[in-house]
Amino acid sequence: MPKRKILVVEDEAIIAMELKETLEHLGYLVLRTVFRGEDAVVLAEKTHPDIVLMDIHLKGDVDGITAAEEISTRFNIPVIFITAHSDKETLARAIRSRPYGYLIKPFNERDLYSNIEMAIHKHRVRSKLEENAPDMVDSALNIIPEAVVIADPRGRIVRMNLEAERLTGYNLKEVKGMQVFTALGVTIPGRDTLMEKLLVSTEHAGSMISFPSMINIRTKQGERLPMMLSTGLIRQEGSTRIMEIAFVMEFPPHTSVPVRAGAASGGSIDALIRAMRPPFVSVAGDLSITSFNDSFARLCRYFGRDTPEEGIGLHRALPEFFIGDAGIIEEIINDARSFATEKAVKTSTGAAVFALEYMPYSSTNGVLDSVAIQIRNISDEKLAVHRYEKILRDFRTSEKIIGEVGDLCASLKATVARMSQVTEEEGGISQDMKREFAASKNTLEEIDIRLIELEGYRKQ
């Protein structure tokens, strides 16, 4: 079995040398001992140790806590803090950085070994639990009907949902790592500084913000689409650290991409309508039905209407409150723009939500004179989003509570160790008290193990 690799960060040369000898005696491979936090970050990236032993108080511009946060966040390497003493503020800051262990100098070989092995075990369990996290996130994103692109804090794309891929024509592999605005072909003035301003504006708003005007994006096919763009910051749990940025793209309310006259003939539209799976119907300017598919006929019966026929009025097939009045059809044709809305309908078993999309087209001579209407039952999507939001809220609440319990246990473990040390320095302690301190430490370690197990069950 290969030796576990350890990076030691300690600015006192004698202590660093003694620690290196102790670790090697315990069977570990010490990659390097360094004195400064800056060097620790560089070496962690180059050597990728199994664990880092980090003194909190280091000389130089970067202290141990800052270096540990960067190593943990950037390279996913566990860190154990070692220190002789710490004031309350420093200790609280160290706990907030979520280290995998905390050793008070002086410590014996057994404490050192058990803390290292426990930290590596914890890290392995957490890493295993998080292996499927991207898939879980992608599945959740794909429930969302809007196009969503997720970027890192520098604006580089890390994931996108299926609707974003459909809308832009790109799959994730083609644009991953690219700047969002570059990949989407945004050409507005000040594009290069837009990401920085976006971070500041969104952070100040504290939630989602929307651009005041439409932004044209360019699809893979070179088509320009006017979109409304909203952004939100995804922060690290229990921290102000920005982990990712969500970009949500939607067509402007009640409008979509302008339709070119003559882009599709009436015959091709009718054939397309009949082949569609969702309910589809086309109507002339006077609301007479010109074609429909089987799904539309079933929808009419769902509303208690007779099976439709070509030539009858639209309102004979579906109620006006649901499908819209003549004014809507006339406006869509005159403006040469599509229109989308949602309608909730009460049923005998509850309620249903439908998405309606109206698209003008030319039936003859390249003149817009007809409208195709697609109707989708989105009740399941709405319910899924609602359930997902509830699950996400519950998940975040439970994760926060578990994290707080873990932090309290870490703090208590450090307190017990310090009490044991101080009591021994001030005159020694009885064997009974030693046993009590040892029992307290063992109990806290058991709590750590149970927390890991609980996290495993919660992630299943």
What's the whole-number mean pLDDT along residues 53-71?
A: 88
Omega prior to 106 cis, within 30 of 0: yes
Alpha-carbon distance of 193 to 352, in angstroms, equals 44
Query: Into which CATH architecture does domain 266-377 fall?
Result: 2-Layer Sandwich (3.30)
**Centroid of chain to Cα 58:** 34
More confident residue, 146 or 194: 146
Unique residue bearing structure tokens 């009640």: 254
**Does the pLDDT value for residue 48 go beyond 90?**
yes
**Neighbouring residues of 189: CB distance < 8 A, sequence distance ≥ 6:** none
Query: Into which CATH architecture does domain 146-252 fall?
Result: 2-Layer Sandwich (3.30)
Q: How much is the pLDDT for 125?
A: 60
Alpha-carbon distance of 441 to 413, in angstroms, equals 6
Average pLDDT taken over every residue of the chain: 76
**Neighbouring residues of 62: CB distance < 8 A, sequence distance ≥ 6:** 36, 37, 38, 41
Instruction: Lowest mean pLDDT of 46-50, 57-61, 119-123, 170-174, name the range.
Output: 119-123
Q: How much is the pLDDT for 254?
A: 44
Unique residue bearing structure tokens 């309102």: 315
Q: How much is the pLDDT for 46?
A: 93
Residue 228, strand partner residues: 250
Transcribe 356-389 into DSSP letters. EEEEEEEEETTEEEEEEEEEEE-HHHHHHHHHHH
Alpha-carbon distance of 75 to 45, in angstroms, equals 7
For the chain, domain boundaries: 1-131, 146-252, 266-377, 382-460
Q: How much is the pLDDT for 174?
A: 92
What count of other Cβ atoms lies within 10 Å of the Cβ of residue 323? 22
Alpha-carbon distance of 330 to 328, in angstroms, equals 5
pLDDT above 90 covers a percentage of the chain that reads 15
Residue 343, strand partner residues: 354
Fold match between domain 1-131 and domain 266-377: no
Instruction: Lowest mean pLDDT of 108-112, 139-143, 149-153, name the range.
Output: 139-143
Alpha-carbon distance of 167 to 89, in angstroms, equals 50
Sequence length of the chain is 460
Taking alpha carbons only, the member of 43, 67, 47 closest to residue 55 is 67
Alpha-carbon distance of 76 to 69, in angstroms, equals 10
**Does the pLDDT value for residue 119 go beyond 70?**
yes
Q: Do 366 and 336 meet the contact criterion of CB atoms below 8 Å apart?
A: no
What's the whole-number mean pLDDT along residues 438-443?
A: 75
CATH class for the region spanning 1-131: alpha beta
What's the whole-number mean pLDDT along residues 55-84?
A: 87
**Does the pLDDT value for residue 131 go beyond 60?**
no
Token duo for residue 255: 């409008």
What confidence tier does 336 reach under pLDDT thresholds 50, 70, 90? confident
State the SS3 of 71-113. HHHHHCCCEEEEECCCCHHHHHHHHHCCCCEEEECCCCHHHHH
**Does the pLDDT value for residue 80 go beyond 80?**
yes
Taking alpha carbons only, the member of 107, 95, 111, 19 closest to residue 56 is 95
Token duo for residue 180: 């969002």
**Does the pLDDT value for residue 457 go beyond 80?**
no
